[in-house]
Amino acid sequence: MRLLILVGTVTGTAASVAQAIAMEAGASGLSAEVCPMDEATLDVFEQPQTLFLICTSTHGAGDVPDNARRLFDALALEPRFLGQVRYGVLGLGDRAGHGATFCEAALQFDARLSDLGARRVGEVHCLDAAEDPLPEPAGVEWFRAWLPQARAQMP
Ligand SMILES: Cc1cc2nc3c(=O)[nH]c(=O)nc-3n(C[C@H](O)[C@H](O)[C@H](O)COP(=O)(O)O)c2cc1C
């Protein structure tokens, strides 16, 4: 099994959190790769023995980051069955500044993946940029708790 972290970001925070998680995964003996979403197509989900982690911020008024737009749209425009996919979702947002659309992009990715039959491991986890001024250790802490659940649910 390997971990593939798909990153949606505007200003790089989600990428930095993803990198920290990939390092943690490596330290636990799990091979991990970080992939910016603009480098992925829906075919990415066809890779066998892969655990996926959607790691995305939210921008605009609840929008997915620009680099995530094409993959996000493809999930709706080119629907295909993703029943083999196991994934987690880690969102980054700002509840104080954007309460009505807090981590909306992460929630929308989850909804689209779930609509296509993909199975989420655990709950969507949202990091609040204001509450977690150091999002990397907060993300790694969440990942440490999430990984055993994910290992147990891999086919
Ligand atoms: C212009 C702008 C709009 C934002 N809109 C939202 C939003 O709608 N919902 C939310 O939860 N966070 C919102 N945020 C907060 C970002 O998601 C948060 O700062 C995040 O950590 C940025 O991560 P990134 O550097 O990976 O893009 C917004 C931030 C900016 C600058």
Domain that holds residue 81: 21-96+103-133+142-153
**For the segment 84-126, what is each residue's pLDDT rounded down to a tens digit?**
999 999 999 999 999 999 999 999 999 999 999 999 999 999 9
User: What integer is the mean pLDDT of 56-68?
Assistant: 97
CATH number, position 119: 3.40.50.360
- Return the beta strands (E) in the chain as ranges: 2-8, 31-36, 50-57, 86-93, 119-120, 125-128
Three-class SS state of 137: helix
Secondary structure in 3-state letters for 132-154: CCCHHHHHHHHHHHHHHHHHHHC
Confidence band for 130, pLDDT divided at 50, 70 and 90: confident
Is 1 inside a domain boundary? no
In the chain, the percentage of residues whose pLDDT exceeds 70 is 100
Is 13 inside a domain boundary? no
Is 52 inside a domain boundary? yes
Is 15 inside a domain boundary? no
Give pLDDT, residue 154. 87
Give pLDDT, residue 132. 82
Residues comprising the chain, all counted: 155
- How many folded domains does the chain comprise? 1
Check if 12 has its Cβ closer than 6 Å to any atom of ligand 1.
yes
Q: Which two tokens stand for residue 4?
A: 């593939």
Query: How remote is the CA of residue 85 from the centroid of ligand 1, in Å?
Result: 27
Is 85 inside a domain boundary? yes
Query: How remote is the CA of residue 88 from the centroid of ligand 1, in Å?
Result: 20
Give pLDDT, residue 131. 85
Give pLDDT, residue 60. 96
Check if 11 has its Cβ closer than 6 Å to any atom of ligand 1.
yes
**For the segment 140-151, what is each residue's pLDDT rounded down to a tens digit?**
999 999 999 999
Give pLDDT, residue 155. 78
Is 11 inside a domain boundary? no
Q: Which two tokens stand for residue 8?
A: 């949606």
Q: Position 135: which residue type?
A: P
